[in-house]
Structure 1
Amino acid sequence: MLICFFLDTLGKGCAFVAVLLVVFQWTSEAAGPLERKAAAVGTSVLLSAPDNIKDINFIQWEYQNGTTWYFIVQYYVGSQKPTLYPPYENRVVFYSLNGSLLLENLQETDSRVYKASINLIESEARTTLLKVLRPVSQPQIWSSSSLAGSPIELFCNVPGGTVENIDWEKEGGPLPQERCYLLSENDSVLHIGKGGKSDCGSYSCNVSNEISWQESLLNLTIVDISPPLELALKMSAIAVVFALVSGMGFFVLCCQSEKKRIKGENWRWMIIFIQVLVCVSSILLFAATVLWMHEEGPSAAFIVLEILLVYVIIVTVLISATLVYQPAKLSGFKTKPWQRVILDSAAPGAVILVVLFASLLLQKISQLQDRGCSQTVDLTGYAVISAVISLFGLITLFIWYHRSQRDQRENKRHSKEEADQEVQQELREDMLQRP
C-alpha cells in the first residue's frame, strides 16, 4: 500500500504495478527451488524428486523444450508400473519409493530443465537444470612468433570437449600485472605487445568445464635477433677476417726489400688471391648490409656504403680477371695517373672500408642480442674457419714463392758449376794441345 500511495503521489496508478508483482510472485512460486547438475556424455545422472510432501498419490516427471513441457514419467501410487513417454522410455529408471529418476546414456541434447511434481502441486515442484558436457581434451598451445620486439600471440586450441573456461598462467601463477597482456574474446589467444626478455618463461593454458580440467605448457624463449640478422652477423664476421688477411697480404708486399721483392708469376697470383679476398669480403658486407636495412630500415650511411662496395666489387673482379687471363693488358688500364690511382687504391681502401663498417654492423647487431633470452650467436667457429681458409691460401703462395726462389738459386748454382767445369775442361784441353 505504501508503494501504491507513493506512485499515486507521482500521478501514476498502481494497478499495473500490482499486477506485475502478482505475476512475478506466481512465476517464482511455480518455478520452485532450482537444482543444478552437470554430467559427462555417456554417463548417468540421478534426479531427485521433492521430499517435503507427505501422502503421495501421484508423481510426474517432465522436461522443458523451448517453452513447452513434455512428459517423461507418470506414476500413480498403487499401480504396477509407471507410464514412460518417448524419447526417454528406454533410457530412464524410475524409483517409485522416493520418486527419483535415473537418466542413462546421456547425450548433449539432454541438457535442459527437468521438473518433478507430486500430486500436481506446482509450488512444491523440484526443477533441475542439467548440463551434459563432453570432457575437455588436452589443449594444444603454440606461439605465432618468438622474436624480440615483435608482437607475439600464444594460441590455446582444444581439439574436443565442451570448454567453459580458459585460464592463462605464467610460471605457475597469474599473469604479471606490469606487462601488457591482452586476451581474445574467448580467452583462447594471449596477446603480448612487444616480446622482451621479461616475457621469457613457462606459460600454461588451463581449460575446464564443470566435469573436467586439462593443462598444457609452453616454454617461450624470446629470440634476440631474426634469422636474417643472424645471417648478417655471420657474414660480417667472415668479411672482417677476409679483409684483415687481405690487408696483411698488402702489408707484406709493400714492406719487402728490393732484393726479396716478389715478382713474376708469384706476384701475379699473390695479387689475384688478395684481390679475390677483398672482393669476397665486399660481397659479404654488401649482403649483410642489405639484410640489416631490410630488417631495421634504410639509412643514408649504409646506402653510401652499398654504392662504394659495388664500385670495389667491380674493380676487384676486373683486376682479378685481367691478371688471370690477360695479365699483359693490365698496364693498358693504367695509362693515365687517375686510372692508376683508382685501380691501385681500390683494394686497400676496400680493406679499411670493410673492416670499419663490418665492425660497426657487428656492434649494432650484438646490441640487439640483449633484448631476448635465447643463446647468443657464437662467431668463434666462423672466424676461425674463415681465418684458416684465407691464411692457408696466403701461406701457400708464400711457400710457393720461397720454393721457386730456392729452385732458382739451385739452378743458378748448378749453371755456375757447369760453366766452371766447362772452363776447366777447356783449360785442360789447351794444355794437352800445347807442345
Structure 2
Amino acid sequence: MPRGDLFIVMLLLWTFVGMGVDGERVTGVLNGQVELRGRYGHNPDVGSVEWTKYSAKNSTKKLIYVFTKPNNTVCTQPCQNIRFNSQNMSLTLVHLTPEDEGIYEEKAIFKNNSIKHFNVTLSLECPASLVASNITVSFSLGSLILKCEINCEFKLLKWLRNGLPLPDDQRFSLTENNTTMQVSNLTSSDCEIYTCQVTNENGISEVFVSVTDKGPCQVNTFLRFSAIIFPVGLSLICLLVLCIILIYVCKYYGHRKIKATSPEEPVYDEPISPQEEAATPTPDLLIVYQDIIKPNDSHQSEDFGYSTIAYVLENMQPSQTT
C-alpha cells in the first residue's frame, strides 16, 4: 500500500472511531475532475454548509467554501480549480493534482443550531503515461544534472542513455529516490539522449531529453585536457632548468679541478716598508750674484753695496793662498 494511502486510512480510522463521522471514498484521475457530494447540505433544514480539507501529507486543516442560505457563497482559498454547486451543496475539483488528495469534510449547520459532519476521502489514480512528465537539464561546474519530474507515486525508476542502461562509471550518481541524476567530469560523449523510465501499478511511463547543448561538454573536455597537459609541461620545464643547473655546476667544478693541478708560480713577498735610497753627494756650489745693471761709477757701487765679478775674484785669491 502506498505511504499516502496508509496515512489516509489511519486518518479515516481516527475520524470514524474518534468522532463517529460517516464518510465515503472517491477516486479521481490525475489531471481530470471529480465531484465531492455531501450528505446533509441539500437538507432544507440546513442553514449553512462549510467545506474543509485535511491534507493527505500532513494534518493541516483548511477552510475552502462557506455557503449560507439563501445564496451567499464565500471561497476562502484560491478557487481557480474549485466549483461549488448550490443545488446539492457539492464541490467539483478540476485539473486534479497530487496536492488535491486528502479528506474533505462537510459541516452542515442546521437552523436549530445542530451540527453534523460528513467526510469524503479523495485519492488519485495515476495513469502510467502521466507518472513522469518532464526532464529538466542544467549544468553546474563541469557537471550535467538531469531531474525527472514525477506526478505521482511509482514503484521503479531507471535512467537510460541512448536506450541503454547507464555505464558502470563512478561519474554517474543518483539522488532523491533516483529522480535526479548527475554526471560529473563531462566529456563530449556524455551529451546524448537520456530517458527517465518510471513504472507503477498501471504500467510504464517514459520521457526523453536530448542534451543538444554541446558547449559545456566541449568546454569541460578542454579543461580536462588542459589539466593533464599543464602539469606535464610544467614538469618538463622544471626538468630542463634542473639539467641546465647541473651542466653549469659540472663545468664550474671541472674548471676548478684543472686550475688546482697546474704548477705553482713563485710568489714574491713585497717589502713591508719602503727601502731608503742612497744619498748622492752634491758638490759645494758657489753662488755668484751678477748684477744686471752695472753702475757707471765704481765708487757709487761700493757705496750702495754693488760689486763686480772681478772684484770678488780679487778678494778671494788672498784667502785661498793663506
TM-score, normalisation: structure 2: 0.34
Which has a greater percent of helix? Answer: 1
Task: Say which one has the larger Rg.
Answer: 2
